[in-house]
Structure 1
């Protein structure tokens, strides 16, 4: 699964890499992005324009009775995303990219959990495959946009840490993932582990386990 990540920019490179600009919010670096927080995602409008909006992490399907379901839907398994009621509508029509400078995973070491930071090799950002939904709150009609991160089986580099990993899209696949014109079988084919050489990992402080902790020190190599 993917339950914590970092997105610290810089915003100039974020704009350049994703050919999109933040809209409606000021970018704030995050070294400990966690579920139920408002975080930047890249979406594509029907006219093809790409824009970065801030959505809340934890999907709330449009049919949900209340938003509490979000805590259970921070990830979507790629193997079943096209059929599962919680995700299938978003998979067909509301795909997004979740930019990340890196993400965290925990490994069992001598009976304790040791966090590792996983970052891209040869680039500034991962583009994690995401889905988004718009839910209307029954009480007041307020609209809530939320997202989830799609996962797949771990590649050999990630397997010592966890048996799952986020779907990391290659730059050449970013726009196909966003486009509503991409055939369903082509979209499904993107839900695979990335090459092992595309990422590297190292141990970091256990401070990242507390969502209240923030700052660049969280991604520093553990001494």
Structure 2
């Protein structure tokens, strides 16, 4: 079972939980209204949960893929190795960390659609779960990486991570997390840059996308919630 109380999920590793677009909202993000009828994903995504991502297609366009949240799914951590999290990749070390470097060197870039993500804010003196989204309430994309895994039955499944940057100077994101923690932010991609990001084939150019989104186009609001325990997803990415 995945026991996921918010108080356990917070910390310097940044965003580990976010809210996904509905199938209808997906149609507002581009040419993705025709999704496979059997695709399902939860409203809120946690580690190892299935969620849609967008990546470069073989025809030069963009394809949607249903993938597992976390670059190294828990089921692929070898026995005897302490469980570790790979939901977020730090931009500063993305080319060095063993979990992320191979995908970064191959520029296996993806964009993660969401309507908002969650962070703890301590301005009241205690952790208050906050949702962070766009001022106009539109869904948006976060920069990420993807890789493939071979499952025990021989099936090929996809996993992904989100990319974060330092947010010590960002007017909104520096309000999140404990006062003494390093401030981090997801890399939010402007809509007009999503296609260029996923198609990028130059590492230096890819790094130029890893910058802050304007705070005046974002908003945050208190969203306290007790997250109930949920059944751990199976390797076929289905929760239903």
**Unpaired runs of at least 5, structure 2:** 1-13, 178-182, 231-240
Query: Are 2:104 and 1:85 equivalent residues in the alignment?
Result: no
Distance between the aligned counterparts of 1:179 and 1:66, measured in 2?
33
Matching residue of 1:201: 220
TM-fit CA distance, 1:24: 6.7
Q: Quick one: structure 1 residues 125 and 100, their matched pair in 2 at CA, closer, same or farther if it must change by over 3 Å? A: same
Distance between the aligned counterparts of 2:200 and 2:219, measured in 1?
32
Matching residue of 1:116: 130
Aligned residues: 205
TM-score normalised by structure 2 residue count: 0.75
Distance between the aligned counterparts of 1:141 and 1:101, measured in 2?
34
Distance between the aligned counterparts of 2:150 and 2:213, measured in 1?
35
Matching residue of 1:48: 60
> SS at 1:51's partner residue?
strand
Matching residue of 1:171: 191
Distance between the aligned counterparts of 2:82 and 2:27, measured in 1?
32
The 8 Å contact of residues 36 and 71 in structure 1, kept in 2 or not, is answered as no
> SS at 1:156's partner residue?
coil
Q: Quick one: structure 1 residues 55 and 66, their matched pair in 2 at CA, closer, same or farther if it must change by over 3 Å? A: farther
Alignment of 1:29-68 (within 5 A): 30=43, 32-60=44-72, 66=78
> SS at 2:72's partner residue?
coil
Matching residue of 1:150: 163
Distance between the aligned counterparts of 1:192 and 1:119, measured in 2?
17
TM-score normalised by structure 1 residue count: 0.81
Distance between the aligned counterparts of 1:189 and 1:69, measured in 2?
34
Query: Are 2:18 and 1:5 equivalent residues in the alignment?
Result: yes
Match of 1:161 among 173, 176, 194: 176
Distance between the aligned counterparts of 1:80 and 1:179, measured in 2?
22
Distance between the aligned counterparts of 1:96 and 1:55, measured in 2?
11
Q: Which has the higher contact order (CA 8 A, sep 6+)?
A: 2
